[in-house]
Chain A
Amino acid sequence: KAGVTQTPRYLIKTRGQQVTLSCSPISGHRSVSWYQQTPGQGLQFLFEYFSETQRNKGNFPGRFSGRQFSNSRSEMNVSTLELGDSALYLCASRTSQETQYFGPGTRLLVL
């Protein structure tokens, strides 16, 4: 089976812009989670989707949003980008309760 894929892999934006990141889970996985990794805050949970429903959300401002499509692919959007949003954004998928598998991540640089 193909692993979790994320696009794009690298992205440079300027402050105030918005960005959309995409994640395709492993075939058959219906749960998709997003995490942000920064040197200062480490790995932090953003949100989790299952069957197009957001089941949990981390402690991030409303500028961070996401959605999941009927084929389980997920997107996350960050509006009005700030310098502090520069990070590695990781997506993970799993079947239901068990092992999470992570994608390669999207590196976002906000200038």
Chain B
Amino acid sequence: GIQVEQSPPDLILQEGANSTLRCNFSDSVNNLQWFHQNPWGQLINLFYIPSGTKQNGRLSATTVATERYSLLYISSSQTTDSGVYFCAVEPKGSGTYKYIFGTGTRLKVLA
């Protein structure tokens, strides 16, 4: 089955710093989403981005589907950005209807 790898696994930043999180996937995908899991466990949808580039405030994401990777950029990080960031992909092909999650990047932003 498809493999989803995220890097780095852990990241510690000073408030105000920028960061780039990476998601590599081993096969073609129909869909790709980035999520932020808060300390209470809720998965917050950040981007639906099977291809192209999107921006939402301090966050932006780029997916290059032909090269099978996606990047999440966080600029001017804040302590509230702390948590775990997941990339999830839906493998291409009929009858999948499921997302495969990466192992996540745990981000800690220090004040």
A-B complex is real: yes
Chain A residues near B (Cβ < 8 Å): 31, 33, 35, 37, 42-45, 48, 50, 55-56, 58, 88, 90, 92, 97-105, 107
Choose among A42, A56, A98, A104 the residue that contacts B41 (Cβ–Cβ < 8 A).
A104
What band does the interface of chain B fall in when counting residues whose beta carbon is under 8 Å from A?
A: 20 to 34
Q: A100-B33, A105-B41 are in contact. Are A42 and B97 (CB under 8 A)?
A: no
Secondary structure type dominating chain A contacts:
strand
- Least distance between B35 CB and chain A CB atoms (Å): 7
Pick from A42, A48, A90, A107: contact of B43, CB below 8 A. A90
Q: Most chain-A Cβ atoms within 10 A of its Cβ — which of B40, B41, B101?
A: B41
Known: A98-B48, A99-B33, A102-B35. A31 touches B41 (CB 8 A): no
User: Which chain B residue has the least Cβ–Cβ distance from A103?
Assistant: B42
Asked whether, in the complex, the Cβ of A45 is within 8 Å of the Cβ of B99, the reply is yes
The residue that B86 contacts in the complex, of A33, A43, A55, A103, with Cβ under 8 A, is A43
Which residues of chain A come closer than 8 Å to B104, judged between CB atoms?
42
B96 at the interface (CB under 8 A from A): yes
Whether B31 pairs with A97 at a CB distance below 8 angstroms is: yes
Do A31 and B97 form a contact, CB below 8 Å, given A43-B86, A98-B31, A102-B45? yes
Q: What chain A residues lie within 8 Å of B96 (beta carbons)? A: 56
Identify the 10 closest CB pairs spanning chains A and B, nearest first: A43-B101, A102-B43, A99-B48, A45-B98, A48-B97, A56-B97, A55-B97, A105-B41, A104-B42, A56-B98
Q: Are B99 and A100 in contact (CB under 8 A)?
A: yes
B103 within 8 Å of A by Cβ?
Answer: yes
Q: Mark B67-111, 1 if CB is under 8 A from A, else 0.
A: 000000000000000000010100000011111110110000000
Minimum CB–CB distance from A48 to chain B (whole Å) comes to 5
* Structural contact, B45 and A33, CB atoms closer than 8 A: no
Bound complex: CA of A105 vs CA of B37, how far in Å?
Answer: 11
Interface assignment of B30: CB less than 8 Å from any CB of chain A? yes
